[in-house]
Amino acid sequence: MSFLDELGSFLGSANNRSQILGDLLEHCYLALVPLVAGVVIAIALCWLGRTWRPMRGVLLAVANVVYTIPSLALFVVIPSVIGTKILDSINVVVALTLYTSALLIRPTLDALEAVPQQVIASATAMGYRPARRFFAVELPLAVPVLTAGVRVASVSNISLVSVGALIGVGGLGVLFTDGFQREYFSPIVVGIVLTLVLALVVDLLLVLLRRILTPWERASASARRAVPA
């Protein structure tokens, strides 16, 4: 059978198709929940890091160490630490949340520290208290850099979820283990293609999200265009 024939018969089975769809949706979930959680945690930690100076160094150091831990090692160690059973999908979610947070700490800190002093000063002058100022001024200005970090994290997460198949967690990784066990190319190819497509789609959505959240960039860009350079 040529490869295309094999692919045809693989996708031709309704049972196969519904399994692939299920795997895809689960993969989606396992990659995106940590992304959102990671962003929230990174922002919260950075806010703390800016309020208490000594925490900043600790934060960067810990983030560095966490990010260094190899993926499979983290997946198998987390259950003992948080008390779940080893083959539970929550382990993957927790592990990826840790990675995402660790990855985002540095860019978030940099972004927050890059907000010009004048802007903060004027916000305070306008009567913003620190918390309000954080959410209404500093965070929105940090969005571009944050999004860049989140895009990197999303690609990483989507790729790492597959490794979860080695500890029995679903997602597209199941296609790889199945294909490997049976010397069957089709599921592997389908799995790789779907992973890439998913990464692309999520990336585009994030770019879109950034556009929505930073209307001033569009405004200033069009203003610049209106005035002859």
Residues 40-59 within binding reach of other proteins (CB under 8 A): none
7 belongs to the binding site for other proteins (CB under 8 A): no
Q: Which is nearer to other proteins, 47 or 184 (CB)?
A: 184
Q: How far is the CB of 225 from other proteins (least distance, A)?
A: 20
> Interacting stretch for other proteins, rule CB under 8 A, among 41-49, 50-58, 132-140, 220-228?
132-140
Q: How far is it, in rounded angstroms, from Cα 154 to Cα 28?
A: 10
Angle between helices 139-161 and 185-213 (to 10 degrees): 180
Tell me: does residue 16 bind other proteins (CB under 8 A). yes
Q: What is the helix (H) or strand (E) element at residue 165, kind and residue range?
A: none
Helix (H, G, I), strand (E, B) or coil at 5: helix
1-9: long-range pairs with CB below 8 Å, 24+: 3/185, 3/186, 6/184, 6/185, 6/186, 7/185, 7/186, 7/189, 7/190
Site membership for other proteins, residue 21 (CB under 8 A):
no
- What is the distance in angstroms between the CA of the first residue and the CA of the last residue of the chain? 62
Encoded one letter per residue, x for contact with other proteins by CB under 8 A and - for no contact, window 134-153 reads -xx---x---xx-xxx-x--
Which of the residues 156 through 215 are near other proteins (CB under 8 A)? 156, 158-160, 162-163, 165-170, 172-177, 179-186, 188-189, 191-192, 195-196, 199-200, 203, 205, 209, 212-213, 215
CB of 45 to other proteins, least distance (A): 19
Q: In angstroms, rounded to a whole number, what is the distance separating the alpha carbons of residues 225 and 229?
A: 7
Q: Taking contact as CB under 8 A, which single stretch among the options 28-36, 43-51, 54-62, 220-228 is the one that binds other proteins?
A: 28-36
Q: Which of residues 63-122 bind other proteins (CB under 8 A)?
A: 64-65, 67-74, 76-77, 79-91, 93, 107, 114-116
Residues whose CB is less than 8 angstroms from the CB of residue 124 and which lie 6 or more positions away in sequence, other chains included: 133
